[in-house]
């Protein structure tokens, strides 16, 4: 089949590749329709690795996907041919201790699309376990379905924060994950979300999503805005979604006594962790790695209209334009949030 293949660092090809994918009894074969370009795809493209995951041989990119079921394994009952679906890209070992404890995202043996050496989904068809394949509601498009995967990160972070109705949250970073975390926080009960970034164009887009207070940190101190909005108390929850080490080091200044910090972004270097600042406020700190058990809830919120991801899909490319799509995403203008690729 023709696929978008990362040959080596900074070298992509849209070419034929032979992929052996037999259909197991509990699997479905899916014709891929829409795939989002994720920051991890771009990082592999530009650098060839993320932490311990190194691209050592050609690899198909893409893991944010939706499509149509075209074939069923013998034991599949929940889905049928023709169903419109989205797919959770990480498949754990069902017998691992992490999976048995319900924390399958932490399984060291998880096979995750477009994470070396596992091929991704920027290709015409994929075979995937039915248990990690979810039917799209009738009013959710393929483009929206491909946004469920990044939305799941934000929802997992919100679950970790244990938000209470009326909470005030701060989201640091207005990129795709930050924007989707803000939407998840509002859907989870926050009365208001403060979103910070250095790019005004992204803030101009995010503020249209709901009761969001935008803060351009080039113009105003984030802590001053938080103090003003919360009458000096501080935010109940701070989500660090930028991956900026300086921003991550300042999270304890923003929270209220007893508040929570959820670390989502992955800094490229160790951050300065102010233990005393955290202790003085008895800060609760949570870390996020991907997600678990949130795809059905994400789809339910999208179907109900509680979460609308459509404004965040800013560019769409045809499959034959995949090389141009990655070049664009590598130099994405501030006004853009999520670029997607549509397959025929």
**Domains, the chain, with CATH or none:** 2-147+309-342 (3.90.180.10), 154-287 (3.40.50.720)
Closest CA to 36 of 265, 306, 332: 332
- The pLDDT value given to residue 182: 98
First to last CA, the chain: 13
- What are the pLDDT digits (tens) for 151-188? 999 999 999 999 999 999 999 999 999 999 999 999 99
Q: Torsions phi, psi of 328, nearest 5?
A: -65, -50
- The pLDDT value given to residue 51: 82
Q: What percent of the chain is modeled with pLDDT above 70?
A: 100
Parallel, antiparallel or unpaired: strands 59-60 and 53-54: unpaired
Parallel, antiparallel or unpaired: strands 235-240 and 168-172: parallel
Q: What percent of the chain is modeled with pLDDT above 90?
A: 96
Cα angle value 260/63/118 (rounded, 5°): 110
pLDDT above 90: residue 269: no
- What are the pLDDT digits (tens) for 183-234? 999 999 999 999 999 999 999 999 999 999 999 999 999 999 999 999 999 9
> What's the CA gap between 230 and 235, in Å, rounded?
7
> Taking the CB of residue 220, how many other CB atoms lie within 10 A of it?
13
Cα angle value 290/331/15 (rounded, 5°): 75
pLDDT band at 96 (very low <50, low <70, confident <90, very high): very high
- The pLDDT value given to residue 270: 87
* Mean local confidence (pLDDT), 293-314: 97
* Mean local confidence (pLDDT), 141-147: 98
The answer to whether the beta carbons of residues 172 and 247 sit under 8 Å apart is: yes
pLDDT above 90: residue 256: yes
- The pLDDT value given to residue 52: 87
- What are the pLDDT digits (tens) for 242-251? 999 999 999 9
Q: From start to end of 26-137, where are the E strands?
A: 27-36, 49-50, 53-54, 59-60, 64-72, 84-87, 90-91, 111-112, 125-129, 133-135
Give me the chain's average pLDDT, please: 96
Cα angle value 330/342/207 (rounded, 5°): 60
- What are the pLDDT digits (tens) for 36-70? 999 999 999 999 998 889 999 999 999 999 999 99
């Amino acid at each position: 089949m023709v696929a978008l293949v990362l040959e080596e660092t900074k070298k992509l090809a849209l070419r034929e590749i032979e992929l052996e994918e037999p259909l197991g009894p509990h699997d479905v074969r899916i014709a891929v329709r829409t795939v989002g370009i994720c920051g991890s795809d771009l990082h592999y493209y530009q650098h060839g690795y993320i932490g311990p995951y190194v691209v050592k041989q050609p690899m198909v990119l893409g893991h944010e996907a939706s499509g149509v079921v075209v074939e069923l394994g013998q034991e599949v009952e929940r889905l049928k041919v023709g169903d419109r679906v989205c797919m959770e890209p990480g498949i754990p070992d069902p017998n691992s201790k992490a999976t048995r404890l319900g924390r399958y995202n932490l399984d060291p043996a998880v096979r995750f699309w477009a994470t070396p050496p596992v091929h991704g989904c920027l290709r015409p068809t994929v075979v995937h376990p039915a248990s990690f394949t979810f039917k799209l509601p009738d009013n959710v498009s393929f483009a929206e379905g491909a946004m469920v995967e990044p939305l799941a990160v934000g929802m997992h972070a919100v679950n970790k924060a244990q938000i209470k109705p009326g909470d005030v949250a701060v989201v640091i970073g207005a990129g795709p994950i930050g924007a989707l975390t803000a939407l998840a926080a509002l859907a989870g009960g926050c009365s208001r979300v403060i979103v910070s970034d250095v790019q005004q164009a992204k803030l101009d887009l995010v503020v249209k999503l709901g009761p969001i207070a935008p803060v351009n940190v080039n113009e105003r101190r984030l802590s001053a805005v938080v103090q003003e909005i919360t009458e000096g108390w501080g935010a109940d929850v701070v989500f660090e979604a930028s991956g900026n080490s300086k921003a991550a080091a300042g999270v304890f200044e923003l929270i209220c006594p007893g508040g929570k910090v959820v670390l989502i972004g992955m800094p490229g270097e160790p951050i300065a962790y102010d233990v005393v600042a955290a202790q003085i406020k008895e800060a609760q700190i949570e870390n996020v790695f991907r997600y678990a058990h949130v795809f059905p809830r994400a789809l339910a919120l999208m179907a109900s209209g509680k979460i609308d991801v459509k404004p965040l899909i800013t560019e769409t490319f045809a499959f034959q334009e995949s090389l141009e799509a990655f070049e664009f995403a590598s130099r994405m203008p501030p006004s853009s949030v999520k670029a997607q690729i549509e397959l025929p």
